Amino acid sequence: MAISNQQIAQQAVKRLQEWIDSQPQVPVYKGRINKTVICQKLNISKSSIGSNKKLKAMFNDLESNITSYKVQDIKGERERQLQKKVDSLEKQLALAKKEINVLKNRIAINDYLLETGRMIDA
Amino acid sequence: MLNHPAFSNEQEQSRTITGLIESKYYANDAIAVMKVSLGRENVKAVLAYHSAPEAEAPQIGEIWTFTGQDETHEKYGEQLIISESFRQHPSGILLIKYIHYHIPGLGITKARRLWTVFDEKLYHVLDEGDVDALIDKKLGNLPLDIANMAVEKWRNNKIETETVRFFQQAKLSTSLAIKSLKFYGKDTIPKIQENPYRLLAFASFQVIDKRARECFQISMHDSRRMNAAVSAAVYKAYDAGHTAITEKDLIQSVKLFSELSKQEAQQAINQAVADQTVVVSGENHYQGRGQASMEKFIARKIVRLLCITATKQPAYHNQKLRTDLLAEFEQLNDFTLNKQQIQAVKIALTHRFALIQGTKGVGKATCLLALHHQINSDNGITVQVALSAHVTKRITEVTLTQTITIDAFFLKVSEEPLPDHVKLVVAEASMIDVPTMVKLLRVLPDTGSMVLVGDSRQLPPVGPGLIFHTLSCIPNIIPTVTLTQVHYSGIPSAAQSIALEQKPVVAPFDKTLSIDEQIGLYHIPASPHDISRTAVGLRYFIRNWGKVQIIAPTISLCDDINIQLHNSYRSDNEGNIKPLVRCTKSIGLGDMILCTSNLHNKGLSNGSLGQITQVFESAVAEKSPDGEIELYYAIAEFDGQKISLSASDFANIKLGYCIPCNKAQGLEFERVIIALPDSTLLDNSWIYTAITRSKKQAIIIGDIQTFYDHCCEPPTAFNRYIALPILLEDSLDGKIT
């Protein structure tokens, strides 16, 4: 059975209310609530905020009371995660470089042995 | 050059400068005239290496401290004649120039800006590797990659300078410091302080021992010294061609190096075994760790190849000798292979590692022809190699298969590995030493196969070990066919007699015989003093009898004959004096020449023979094959190829009318004159190798009894101590995995 637009709008309001009631970590971006992330999370079309007055009021209310919620800065989090990844990759790179140097040294020692018959005492 | 002020003994007040070498006005092996920048002024400095014996050549861009006397030369003006020199880490404002020279992308303006911003703190920034300060927009403002490079170069230079200084203080040469740095890097100083005998890898025991005892206070019985004496004994044996050494010889050698008693030498050896500096190989034989690792690798790989044959073979290697292809080959070439030759082709086809050996004229090349016919008809892949360029040319001609030098082969496989089922054919394999065999087996895939073809009666390889000679003696392990049926009389027949340690048939040289009758082995008696003169006369007499080469055992006899022949050919048919090559003393137009090193950029190898065909009145500047401008002094023809030769090429070129036997290995001439004084270098293999260089006629000049004596004695090649047979057996028994 097809659902009417009105029902969709009501369900969206219901989902947002339930989510607000659950005292969630509110995603923010540059100090404002991140509507895109919230809408994605609750399966609400972002464009419906403009057409659904209740939804719009709820978001405005959330915005003005943001200090009473725990916030989650998505971009900052992503940056932290990326930095973590960079650190880990840098560590891996340093290890790989070290390993390459060890192998290069081993090759040089081996080549020197073939060239001169002399062993380099490590 | 001796009039140069650098060689003056006048004593004046000296001064010390520290500056950056900006450029060199002039430099050779004896002297360097440099423009040294002190920051705001420049000094012309003259370093004569004889006045500063420990001095290394300063390089452009390096910072050096020079002590010397100022002089005013009437022609060259004011200059500092250096008496002492050492390399420095940059200090003060010199840093600007230093970083400008050493860091690409960092111009002098940027370098000056760094100094303005950081001042003396720039040293701290670089020492600490403070990349953040260098890239900070308000401070260094350098791009990240340039900042990283600056820090790395600075660090390396600091390590290098400190290490060179440490070596100079220990009265050890800078070249030793550079070699040590290559392997020990930043740990060089602590490593050498811990054990100065680590330097034994780069210099003789005598040199290192003197410095170790004087500068590092190492006592006579120090375990490091005793261990080094054992290594030195192993190295000495290796340089003489042995990869192993008997206990008796090792004790004797250790005693000589270390001046220890026999009992102490024995203790040193026991300790070296415990420390794994040497390993015991078989009964009463020892090997250095390096020598053992090379031969073990060879043994393991050969056994791996042989064992895979016995169990799991790829389809291609399971190929049997195809009789239809054999018949086709015989019909095409209009001859029939004998049983031995067929057997040789068969083992080369069906085994992953096989060996074909035989004396001159037994048809080894024919076997290779037939082998290539079988493999090519089945779309198999073969690669045929030989040690030097002049040998590859001959092998290519006789086997009708492209043969490449081993050097070129290694270069090729470094770019593209060998295909899985390749058959690697090594011609003239008696010349292959242990390191070359290691390298060949290293690039051969485990699914590939190898055939060695050669003559074990020839001289041992110039390098260490005795691969082919050894493997040819163990047919119970290595699939081997020895070809014995001689196909031609004359030289091959004489060669076979010598190989059997019997007197060959020798006829007195008869100059009245026609050229067509001059076939086989001949003799001209001559006293030791007359040998060179007779050889020169004979060379002149038979100069139009085709390609003639004189072979002699010693360098001094070769030089004597060469200079006599050079002088006798100094004028042309009309009596005009032929011009000398300007950068040489005794090589002129028309002279036969010998290349004594591998000149890869010219396509010449050690042993290449040629003739000077053009001499330039003054040097001609041309682009070398490497793309650099070189000054050429002459053109020579090598195997039909014209090659321009520079002064540096001539440093590796000698007269080549008469050459030592090892340089003639792998070559063939129509006629060979053998100058034969009694020499400790002579033995059965030497005589055999010299005679078998000739296709038609070999003429011996000297005492016939000396010649017969050496023909009838066993070859000394087999006196080399090696551990390969034992290691092969151990490998087969699974002791080496």
Residues of chain A neighbouring B414 (CB-CB closer than 8 A):
none
pLDDT at B7: 40
Q: Tens digit of pLDDT for each residue in A22-33? A: 888 888 887 788
**Is A120 within 8 Å of B201 when comparing Cβ atoms?**
yes
pLDDT of residue B630 exceeding 60, the answer is yes
Helix axes B289-310, B724-732, angle to 10 degrees: 50
The more confidently predicted of residues A119 and B390 is A119
Report how far residue B591's alpha carbon sits from residue B108's, in angstroms, rounded to the nearest whole number: 53
- Answer yes or no: is pLDDT of B9 > 70: no
Q: Does A119 reach chain B within 8 Å, measured CB to CB?
A: yes
Q: What percent of chain B has pLDDT over 70?
A: 95
The pLDDT tens digits of the residues spanning B410-436 come to 999 999 999 988 999 999 999 999 999
Residue B674 has pLDDT above 90, yes or no: yes
pLDDT greater than 90 at residue B291: yes
A121 lies in some domain: no
CB neighbours of residue B414 within 10 Å: 9
Give the mean pLDDT of B240-258. 95
Q: CB distance from A105 to chain B under 8 Å?
A: yes
- Can you give the pLDDT at residue B550? 97
Out of A6-10, A84-88, B572-576, B603-607, the most confident range is A84-88
Residue B380 C-alpha from the chain's centroid: 33
- Compare CB distances from A119 to B290, B438, B439 and report the shortest one's residue: B290
Residue A85 lies in a domain: yes
In a domain, A10, yes or no: yes
Cβ atoms of B456 and B480 within 8 Å: the answer is no
Tell me: pLDDT of A105 over 70. yes
Distance CA B536, CA B524 (A): 13
Domain interval for residue A36: 5-116
Provide, rounded to the nearest whole percent, the portion of chain B with pLDDT above 90. Answer: 53
User: B382: closest CA among B309, B453, B475?
Assistant: B453
Nearest chain A Cα distance for residue B231, angstroms: 9
Please say whether the beta carbons of B243 and B724 come within 8 A: yes
Average pLDDT over residues B96-104: 79
The CA distance from A94 to the nearest CA of chain B, in Å, is 14
Asked whether the beta carbons of residue A117 and residue B238 sit closer than 8 angstroms, the reply is: yes
* Chain A CB within 8 Å of residue B475 CB: no
* pLDDT tens digits, one per residue of B113-141: 888 888 888 888 888 889 999 999 888 88
**How large is the average pLDDT for residues B203-207?**
95
Contact A119 B202 (CB under 8 A): no
Residue B323 burial (C-beta neighbours within 10 Å; 0-12, 13-18, 19+)? exposed
Mean pLDDT over B572-599 rounds to 87
Could you tell me the CA-to-CA distances from A117 to A113, B206, B239, B241, B464 in Å, in that order? 5, 18, 8, 11, 9
Which of A105, A114, A115 lies at the smallest CB-CB distance from B183?
A105
Chain A interface, mutation test: which of B144, B180, B181, B182, most A Cβ atoms within 10 Å? Answer: B182
Give the length of chain B: 737
Does residue B241 have a pLDDT over 90?
Answer: yes
**C-alpha–C-alpha distance, residues B164 and B443, integer Å:** 37
Q: B352 φ, ψ to 5°?
A: -80, -20
Q: What ipTM did this prediction achieve?
A: 0.79
Note whether B155 contacts A: Cβ–Cβ < 8 A: no
Asked which of B428-432, B598-602, B697-701 is least confident by mean pLDDT, the reply is B598-602
Least confident of B6-20, B129-143, B165-179, B249-263: B6-20
Which residues, numbered 222 to 251 in chain B, qualify as contacts with chain A under a Cβ-Cβ cut-off of 8 Å? 231, 235, 238-239
Tokens of B322: 């195809």
Residues B503-528, mean pLDDT to the nearest whole number: 91
CA–CA distance, B273 with B276 (Å, rounded to integer): 5
Residue B60: CB partners within 8 Å, gap ≥ 6? B21, B22, B23, B24, B101
Are A115 and B435 an interchain contact pair (Cβ–Cβ within 8 Å)? yes
The whole-number pLDDT of residue B312 equals 52
Q: Which stretch, B324-338, B433-447, B505-519, B584-598, has highest mean pLDDT?
A: B433-447
Structure tokens at B541: 């007499």
Q: B395: how many CB neighbours lie within 10 A of its CB?
A: 22
Q: Reply yes or no on whether the pLDDT at B1 is more than 60.
A: no
**What are the contacts of B26-31 at 24+ separation with CB within 8 A?**
B27/B57, B30/B1, B31/B1, B31/B4, B31/B6
CB atoms A105 and B239 under 8 Å: no
What residues in B contact A116, CB-CB < 8 Å?
201
Judge whether A42 lies within some domain: yes
What does the alpha-carbon distance between residue B273 and residue B268 come to, in Å, rounded to a whole number?
A: 9
- Look over chain A and give the mean of its residue pLDDT values, rounded to a whole number: 87
Residue whose C-alpha is closest to residue B277's, from B166, B348, B209, B197: B197
B725 contacts B465 by C-beta, under 8 angstroms? no
CB pair distance less than 8 Å for A114 and B435: yes
Give domain status of residue A73, yes or no.
yes
pLDDT of residue B8: 43
| Residue B696 CB contacts under 8 Å (≥ 6 apart), including other chains | B490, B491, B518, B519, B546, B670, B671
Question: What gap in Å lies between CA B485 and CA B362, rounded to an integer?
Answer: 5
User: What does pLDDT average to over chain B?
Assistant: 88
Within a domain: residue A122?
no
DSSP one-letter string for B572-603: -TTSPBPPBPTT-SS-BTT-EEEE-S-BGGGT
Chain A neighbors of B233, CB-CB under 8 A: none
Burial of B80 (0-12, 13-18, 19+ CB in 10 A): buried
pLDDT recorded at residue B309: 54
Which tokens hold the place of B477?
């392990």
What does DSSP assign to residue B426? Answer: E
Report residue B203 as tokens. 């210099």
CA torsion angle B125 B127 B129 B130 (round to 10):
-20
Mean pLDDT across B708-731:
90
**pLDDT(B452) > 50:** yes
Of the segments A5-14, A101-110, B57-66, which one has the largest average pLDDT value?
A101-110
- What are the E-state strand segments in B305-381? 353-358
CB contact under 8 A, A121 and B195: yes
Residues 6+ apart with CB under 8 A from B193: B216
Per the model's pLDDT, the better-predicted residue between A74 and B387 turns out to be: B387
Q: Which pTM was predicted?
A: 0.77
Structure confidence at residue B207 (pLDDT): 94
Judged by CB atoms within 8 Å, which residues 168-197 of B form the interface with A? 182-183, 195
Decide if pLDDT at B4 tops 50: no
Query: Using 50, 70 and 90 to split pLDDT, how confident is the model at B441?
Result: very high
Q: Is A111 on the interface with B (CB under 8 A)?
A: no
pLDDT of B589: 93
Q: What is the pLDDT of residues B142-182, one digit of tens each?
A: 988 889 888 888 888 888 888 988 988 888 887 899 899 99
A40 lies in a domain?
Answer: yes
Long-range contacts (CB closer than 8 Å, 24 or more residues apart) made by B586-591: B586/B655, B587/B612, B587/B634, B587/B650, B587/B653, B587/B655, B588/B612, B588/B615, B589/B613, B589/B614, B589/B615, B589/B634, B591/B566, B591/B655, B591/B656, B591/B657
- Helix (H/G/I), strand (E/B), else coil: A26: strand
In this predicted model, what pLDDT tens digit does every residue of B608-627 receive, in sequence order?
A: 899 999 999 888 888 777 67
Q: How many CA atoms lie within 13 A of B246 on its CB side?
A: 6
Q: How confident is the model at residue B50 (pLDDT cuts 50, 70, 90)?
A: low
Taking each helix axis as running N to C, give the angle between helix B364-377 and helix B323-333, from 0 to 180 degrees, rounded to the nearest 10: 120
pLDDT, mean of residues B221-247: 96
Environment class of B599 (CB within 10 Å of its CB; exposed 0-12, middle 13-18, buried 19+):
buried
Per the structure, the count of domains in chain A is 1
Write out pLDDT tens, residues B466-502: 999 999 999 999 999 999 988 777 898 899 999 999 9
B435 at the A interface (CB within 8 A)? yes
Mean of pLDDT values over B100-122: 83
Q: Give the model's confidence band at B5: pLDDT under 50 very low, under 70 low, under 90 confident, else very high.
A: very low
The answer to whether residue A26 is domain-embedded is yes
Total residues belonging to chain A: 122
Query: What tens digit of pLDDT does each residue of B298-337 get?
Result: 999 999 998 875 445 554 455 688 899 999 999 998 889 9
Beta-bridge partners for B547: none
